[in-house]
Structure 1
Amino acid sequence: MERSRLFWPVSAAAQAFSGFADWPSIEDYDRAVGAGLPVAIREQPPRPKRRRGREREVIEVSGLYEGRIHLEGWLPTRPRSWHDFFNLLVWASFPRAKRQLSARQAATLAQWVAPGVRELPGRRTREQDGLAILDEGGLLLLVEAGAAGEVREGLAGRAAGPVAEAIGAGRAVALLFGHAVYEQIARGGPPVRAMTEVLEVAGALPREAQARVALADARLHEVLEDPESFCRPETFRSLPVEEGVLLGGPG
């Protein structure tokens, strides 16, 4: 968590693992943060090997990744995986939003996978793409209602300056949500942009960090309850994942 100040939304969850000198086990994950999650944590089983000449088995939605989370109530997690570790931290930090997101993803699977099929369709729906972008590469921008217009205008014009100014003035706060973005920073990858979802709030933003995380969790949960949300990825806007922008520096 010391690599970047942008890790602050998941730092409270990460603190549960501060005493480990090596990778925690899946059981350690569950003991550390499992009590606060709406799903259980289990090791992801290996994919079954297909034997030559043997007919493929019928695909069940409950056997797919998103289906296991929502329908069976457990989060498939690989040991010693940065990607899955950060996914766990996001679940622990934004449990309501992640639960609603998994419900949406499972619903799209049920529509996408016809009963009795033995192969997945070749192309995902636009809703599946949009939800995956949020899940993997999303950034939440809590914005006071009075500053929302300027922030949206800046995003529409791909200008980070108005966003950084609103953050610097205390009228907006940026919270990384996508676990792939956290992984990218942790592994020292090249600079990336994150799909940005503006979440308007009435009144002043809370000052305390965990109150901001809880508010973002609640607001994103509300947005995800709308079945039309995140269905048009072509309308998404993004910001550079840079401390100077997302913590309120010059754009």
Structure 2
Amino acid sequence: MGPVIAWDSRFFRKSSLYWPLQDVAARFEGALEWPAVEAVDEALSEAAGVRFRLQPPRPRRRRRRRPVDPSSLYDARIHVEGWVPTRPSNWHDFMNALVWATFPAGKRALHARQHRTVAARLGDAPKALPDRRTREQDGLAMLDEGSLLLLAVEGRVSAITAALEARDTSAVQNEMAEGSALALVFGHALYESLLPEERRSIWAMVALLPCPGPLPTERRACIRLADARLAELITTPGTFSQPETFRSLPLDERVLCGGSVLRREPGGELFG
């Protein structure tokens, strides 16, 4: 566990990689202390399409294990009941809420699929959770926590795929500089990893999202497009089920934002 990072309402201005969260994060700018879960819900639930509620305490361990209640599981709370269990004063859960409000369709599709996957494994009378996750569950967890969305013009997908396979970062950078691709951080654990002053090197799993025609240059239009394409890909059977085939890019502003086709403010921040 790393050092505890104090609340900072301007956190999203410290890295250009936060640009997808800019609008929703700005709703908390100026807050002198951690917003309560109720305040997070009030600010974000309409955009997210789900409610944010205080995570219930874990039940005490008993000597005799009770059967699993599927409705009490995390993804069931979201998919069936429509609320996200959220811990107070917690960067990980706060980033998750911001991602929900930014990519609601993608998050909804992700947790619906995770819920179906878990429910199918539990069956009708579950006595215990399985000891191990399936490869599909591993892949979906990686998408949720540590993924980077890469919008790509359909005609350049083959070249971009080849560059990712070869770990040719400069070739992907060139595609972004030419307007053929655009990177958006999706995984909330990645956003959390940007908080420390001294960051460790991270390579983020890439979810490649082919798109017809030229990519938008307006920030919000790019976010909406990425959200829609991600949701469509998640609902496609078999996707994200083979983590060993995933490819990655460094979580680095110089790589992912240096050649962005999005317009910039005079100070260098992405805007639209």
User: Do structure 1's residue 78 and structure 2's residue 117 form an aligned pair?
Assistant: no
Question: Which of 188, 197, 212 in structure 2 is aligned with 1:202?
Answer: 212
C-alpha separation in 2, matches of 1:159 and 1:212: 24
Output one character per residue of 1:119-159: Cα deviation in whole Å (capped at 9) or x when no partner: 21111111100000000001000011222221111001111
C-alpha separation in 1, matches of 2:258 and 2:71: 43
Determine if contact 1:70/1:103 at 8 Å carries over to the other structure.
Answer: yes
User: Do structure 1's residue 47 and structure 2's residue 58 form an aligned pair?
Assistant: yes
The aligned counterpart of 2:6 is: none
TM score, norm. by length of structure 1: 0.95
Shift of 1:19: 2.7
Question: Which of 82, 101, 104 in structure 1 is aligned with 2:110?
Answer: 101
Determine if contact 1:42/1:75 at 8 Å carries over to the other structure.
Answer: yes
TM score, norm. by length of structure 2: 0.88
> Which portions of structure 1, spanning 4 or more consecutive aligned residues, are displaced by more than 2 angstroms?
114-119
C-alpha separation in 1, matches of 2:125 and 2:66: 9
Superposition map of 1:143-162 within 5 A: 143-162=152-171
Q: Which amino acid aligns with 1:21?
A: L
C-alpha separation in 1, matches of 2:66 and 2:50: 27
C-alpha separation in 1, matches of 2:237 and 2:24: 29
C-alpha separation in 2, matches of 1:77 and 1:130: 23
The aligned counterpart of 1:38 is: 49
C-alpha separation in 1, matches of 2:255 and 2:184: 12
Shift of 1:69: 0.8
Percent identity among equivalent residues?
Answer: 48
Superposition map of 1:171-182 within 5 A: 171-182=180-191
RMSD: 1.2
**Runs of 5+ in structure 2 lacking a partner?**
1-11, 260-272
3-state SS, counterpart of residue 181 of structure 1: helix
**Runs of 5+ in structure 1 lacking a partner?**
none
3-state SS, counterpart of residue 186 of structure 1: coil
Question: Which of 31, 37, 44 in structure 2 is aligned with 1:20?
Answer: 31
Determine if contact 1:166/1:248 at 8 Å carries over to the other structure.
Answer: no
User: Do structure 1's residue 246 and structure 2's residue 256 form an aligned pair?
Assistant: yes
Using the TM superposition, name which of 87-96 and 187-196 deviates more. 187-196
C-alpha separation in 1, matches of 2:223 and 2:142: 20
